[in-house]
A and B are shown apart, each in its own frame.
Chain A
Amino acid sequence: MLRELLSPKRESKVADVERPANFNVLVGKLSEVLVRAVDKPLGYAINWGRLWSLWPVHLETACCSLEFGAASGPRYDVERFGIIEAFGSLRQCDLMVIQGTVTRKMAPRVRMIYDQMPEPKYVIAMGACAITGGLYFDSYNVLPGIDGVIPVDVYVPGCPPRPETLIQGCILLQEKIKRTRFR
């Protein structure tokens, strides 16, 4: 290791730093190191804030909305995991739960609603229909999964998923947000 550092190749690199172009590269590297030192705790704090206040859009595409409603009810109470009931405006939301089948008529509207949401935004595909088309795989009016229309973060299987499964999907999403690098 020591020999490697003292080898002629390495020495020539250090000598090159004195040239103005290479000096800028060194400053750039230093600033990156500095930004990372600040960035990591800051990013952690911001991700922490994001993951405990996920606001879902009130968008129901099919019958899975029933179990989404049950998950907001008193027995399952998704609010204790930091996911607020879906009553708010779409401009304040950062989570979209695709609750079941998306038809050809609904798909452009889903995309329009997704585009109107502010960044950062996350998507959970709930139910077999939102993942692959489910029971309606051979129907003429149903999309085979939502991931061709909008990017999906977490897939929650089931037909419909039990509220516990949906809550597990939300926790997985929170794990994902926790590891996201803040930009």
Chain B
Amino acid sequence: MGVEMGRERIPGFELEGRDEDGMDRGILTLSVGPQHPGSGHFRLIVKVDGDMIVEALPDPGYVHRGEEKMCEYRNYIQNIPHLERPMIADSCGILYPYVLAVEEICNIAVPERAKYIRVIMAEINRCIFELYWLGIYGIFLGHSTMFMWPMADRELLIDLAEMASGARVTHAYFVPGGVRNDLPDAFPEKAKRHLLYFKNRLKEYKDIFYDNPLFQARTVGVGILSKEDAINLGATGPVLRASGVEHDIRKVEPYDVYDELDFEVITMKEGDSFARAYVPWLEMYESVEIALQALEKMPSGPVRTKLGPNPKGAVGEAFKRVEAARGELAYYLVSDGNPKPYRVKLSVPSFREIPVMAHLLKGAKLADMPSIYWSMNYWPVEADR
């Protein structure tokens, strides 16, 4: 095997008739990223034969900031702001399992109202994330309207989250023992108005994006992931459900008050890029329903169990997982009885999509790479932690 000018000859890879056409027989190795017209600082080393991808080697780690090590020299409360930075589009989702795990280790009881507020904020954040994701999908496929519409509707939901927490995207709203502050008095009414508007607005998305022949041409039948492969490769979240596996942590292992709320797990059988883009759209309906139900059922009362300034955990470990917008997000926390955790491990959904992406890109066309890459719900910042 010799490497010359980026062309790598692979022994045993022979295609008949190439020389007669005048084409050079061989494999071209391309480096896509870390600066590319799509999104994220992520590098894909792609080996192409003509237009077909023979092999794709993902190269993550451009935003590795050492979150897990940093947790070890901050106490449980100080850890909150930097732990939501890996995924600030869904900052409640990524903080949720950490808060649950700290509550288990420190043995804190949570008021009932706080549980409902957490569910409302988590579902609003899920919609905020899915809209941003859908907007960037538009950029990937060259569909500018698809960037502008979700970006505009996202601001209404950000207004709600800002009203409750005081910050646009980095809320730091969930704390061990409940939520940081109670909802403003005007919140339930405004939330209902915005969520109902958003629900009506979602119907238009189907007409302009999902029924769009250009969008369908780029996504239908592209990157088909079978049910068996999805399970074996460890896919999670909308990617797994788009392949027909009914798995949602909110149903399988309900946390807070999800077992008291009525919602469905969305699945599709196709498993292609279109299904992976369609499942989040259907899930946004469910999120709106969950948030509206929780607003109705929310009791009054305190929202936070007051802790000391420096809560100490019991000796032991905790493992908690939630369904974030991108899939199963888990924290493993080990405590040695000090105010600071001994070890924190994040299991993030984005990192689990890397093998799935490498599997799907093999055999796809180079032009289909953006639509497969972005349908994976892959976020470099989150995957690198």
Contacts and interface: CB of A to CB of B under 8 A. Distances in A.
Interface stretch (B85-93, B110-118, B175-183, B289-297): B85-93
A103 B170 contact: no
B228 to A, nearest CB: 35
Contacts of B170: 159-160
Contacts of A59: 35, 41
Interface string B30-55: 00001111011100000000000000
Given A59-B41, A69-B136, A87-B139, A139 B35 contact: no
Given A58-B37, A135-B82, A160-B88, A69 B65 contact: no
A66 B169 contact: yes
A141 B35 contact: no
Nearest to A67: B169
Interface string A44-67: 000000000000011111110111
Given A103-B64, A162-B168, A138 B70 contact: yes
B12 interface: no
B62 interface: yes
A142 B66 contact: yes
A73 B34 contact: no
A3 interface: no
A139 B139 contact: no
B168 A69 contact: no
Nearest to B382: A63
B140 to A, nearest CB: 11
B163 interface: no
A75 interface: yes
B145 to A, nearest CB: 11
Contact of A109 (B35, B151, B155): B35
A141 B66 contact: yes
Question: 3 closest A-B pairs (Cβ-Cβ)?
Answer: A73-B151, A74-B152, A139-B66
Interface of A: 57-63, 65-67, 69-70, 72-75, 87, 89-90, 101, 103, 105-106, 109, 113, 135-136, 138-142, 159-160, 162
Contacts, number: 97
Q: Main secondary structure on chain A at its contact with chain B? A: loop
A87 B132 contact: no
B73 interface: yes
Contacts of B81: 135
Contacts of A62: 41, 63, 65, 381
A65 B82 contact: no
Contact of A105 (B61, B132, B169): B61
A121 to B, nearest CB: 15
Nearest to B89: A66
Given A62-B63, A63-B85, A74-B148, A69 B135 contact: yes
A74 B66 contact: no
14 contacts: A63-B88, A63-B381, A73-B147, A73-B148, A73-B155, A75-B151, A101-B63, A103-B64, A106-B62, A109-B35, A135-B85, A139-B66, A139-B70, A160-B88
Most chain A CB within 10 A, of B61, B69, B70, B135, is at: B70
B130 to A, nearest CB: 14
Nearest to B36: A58
A60 B39 contact: yes
A141 B70 contact: no
